[in-house]
Amino acid sequence: MGSNAIQQVPTNTKGATVPFWIDGKEVVSPRTFDVYNPALGKVVHQCSSATEADAQAAVDAAARALPAWRAMVPTRRREIFLRAAALLEARRDELVATMVEELGVATQWADFNINTARDFTLDVAGRIVTVEGSVPTPQDPNTGAMVVKEPFGVVLAIAPWNAPYILGTRSVIFPMAAGNTVVFKGNELSPKVMWGICSVFAEAGLPDGVLNYIVHSTANAAAVTSHLVASPHVKKINFTGSTLVGRAIGRLAGEHLKPVLLELGGKAPAIVWEDADLALAADQCALGAFLNSGQICMSTERIIVHRAVAARFEALFLAAVDKFFPAAGEAPLLIHGPAMEKVKRLLRDARDKGATLLLNGGFDDNGGVEGARPGVAAAPRLRPTIVKGVTEDMDIYRTESFGPTVALYEVGTEEEALRLANDTEYGLSSAVFTEDLRRGLRLARGIETGACHINSMSVHDESALPHGGAKGSGYGRFCASGLEEWVRTKTITYRW
């Protein structure tokens, strides 16, 4: 990776141990852990498991690469990003197969991940030259001043497994585009997928040490993460994941006075008003709730319907769910066992406290799993589940399920709808369905979320729009003008 020419790098680690990328080289650790395909219930490969020493090696490599990378003219950085985007397309079949192999997801979801990662990379390539300073006028006529933007330095990027090409790529391209170098801490459920991101950038000619990749077993998470955050070379952190872990990262970063961008969990509301196109609302809510088995931080978990159209909406919603996620098809997959147990616990608690199931996805029969074969563990699958009659004393009222569940509520006024929509610690995304744009904008302004989508689903992330949350869903923004997150402002004055 030492030059800007396209490099020949390994593109397939099938049957081998997934390595780290440190200083432009693949490093295989003697310490490994098993990686399971949840759909098959079996080990598909091993992955190197980082220690604090491996983490430090990655940080040191990033620190060494920083002076040359930050000094590189933006147009040359842009060329590398454009090559990386082209390689994401050229290697699509391989990268999609890796995600299916490792996570057991549908090919369509993996394909969508590649499309979005490529689009993000292209968009950021075009924005690299847009970071600019200013020349203000000081009070003293004999003094000049300038305000410049500088990269922070080494950035720690941590991304989750649920949309690994999208979220992994997003976590590294914005800091790198602004002139920072990166230590990328991958997820133990999708290490080979995230290795693929680094492989693409290496092949595109990214200089050695600009992007370094490590991953570790669950047992080493606290030690390795603490070491990385505490490192004097690491100047800023971005973390995408659960609110629980995000709070821990935020506390740790605060101890070391380091800025952190957090994109955390959500419990997105969708408000369906009486004048809405109910067929459109039903389709969008079905997709927003159950895409990727509801394992998206922006997934719709609460649908708040005007009671005048509640019965009609329910019928249309049930039909939409069956259209997109037919009962005759394979049940959606939850990536690992603990997720299934959490969803089952929330649904049992709601049922035991008086909620009813408008659609029972089978959480209470045979553990909600399918696909058991001799010698192979059953895959954790659960069909879409719709709950009615949820009250504040039920755990599902406030807890993010991160699974294929959604609760329906009925209201009569906008005030009721907003109170219910905002009665949560989360604030990532939301949706409003109405044919009255004035009402839609009024409700959108009243919902305490980082984004609100009028007449489209809550799951929405594109490179042209700022993306991030409010309240317990984090702070800071990816996408759009997100390069500003990765430069700090310096004021320089001078006397004539």
Strands (E), 324-403: 356-359, 385-388
CA 254 to chain centre: 22
Q: In the chain, how many domains are there?
A: 2
The answer to whether residues 491 and 421 belong to one domain is no
| Strand-strand pairing, 405-411 and 300-306 | parallel
The answer to whether residues 128 and 68 belong to one domain is yes
Instruction: Scan for tokens 């409700």, then name that residue.
Output: 443
DSSP 399: S
36 burial type by CB count under 10 A (0-12 exposed, 13-18 middle, 19+ buried): buried
The CATH number covering residue 401 comes to 3.40.309.10
* 263, 301, 410, 485: the active-site residue: 263
The answer to whether residues 195 and 338 belong to one domain is no
Active site annotation includes 263: yes
* pLDDT at site 41: 82
Q: Is residue 424 part of a domain?
A: yes
Q: What is the pLDDT along the chain (496 residues), one digit of tens a residue?
A: 444 433 444 444 445 899 999 999 999 999 999 999 888 888 999 999 999 999 999 999 999 999 999 999 999 999 999 999 999 999 999 999 999 999 999 999 999 999 999 999 999 999 999 989 999 999 999 999 999 999 999 999 999 999 999 999 999 999 999 999 999 999 999 999 999 999 999 999 999 999 999 999 999 999 999 999 999 999 999 999 999 999 999 999 999 999 999 999 999 999 999 999 999 999 999 999 999 999 999 999 999 999 999 999 999 999 999 999 998 777 777 766 678 889 999 999 999 999 999 998 877 654 444 433 333 345 678 889 999 999 999 999 999 999 999 999 999 999 999 999 999 999 999 999 999 999 999 999 999 999 999 999 999 988 889 999 999 999 999 987 778 999 999 999 999 8
Range of the domain at 353: 268-463
* pLDDT at site 2: 46
Tokens found for residue 157: 């990027």
* pLDDT at site 375: 39
Q: Is residue 7 part of a domain?
A: no
d(CA 246, CA 469): 12
* pLDDT at site 9: 47
The answer to whether residues 158 and 246 belong to one domain is yes
Query: What Å distances lie between residue 307 and 23, 312, 313, CA to CA?
Result: 60, 10, 10
Q: Is residue 372 part of a domain?
A: yes
Q: Is residue 13 part of a domain?
A: no
**Angle at alpha carbon of residue 454, lines to 448 and 460, rounded to 5°:** 80
The answer to whether residues 202 and 310 belong to one domain is no
Q: Is residue 311 part of a domain?
A: yes
Q: Is residue 459 part of a domain?
A: yes
The answer to whether residues 355 and 409 belong to one domain is yes
Strands (E), 176-276: 181-185, 211-214, 234-240, 260-263, 268-272
The answer to whether residues 349 and 243 belong to one domain is no
* pLDDT at site 336: 65
Q: Is residue 3 part of a domain?
A: no
Q: Provide CB contacts within 8 A for 161, sequence distance 6+.
A: 103, 187, 189, 190, 193, 335
The answer to whether residues 240 and 321 belong to one domain is no
d(CA 442, CA 456): 16
d(CA 253, CA 260): 7
CA 339 to chain centre: 17
First to last CA, the chain: 45
Name which of 167, 151, 328, 148 is nearest 238 in CA terms: 167
The answer to whether residues 120 and 199 belong to one domain is yes
* pLDDT at site 99: 96
Question: Which H or E run contains 442?
Answer: helix 437-446
The CATH number covering residue 220 comes to 3.40.605.10
Tokens found for residue 431: 């949706």
Q: Is residue 428 part of a domain?
A: yes
The answer to whether residues 205 and 350 belong to one domain is no
The answer to whether residues 350 and 482 belong to one domain is no
The answer to whether residues 104 and 206 belong to one domain is yes
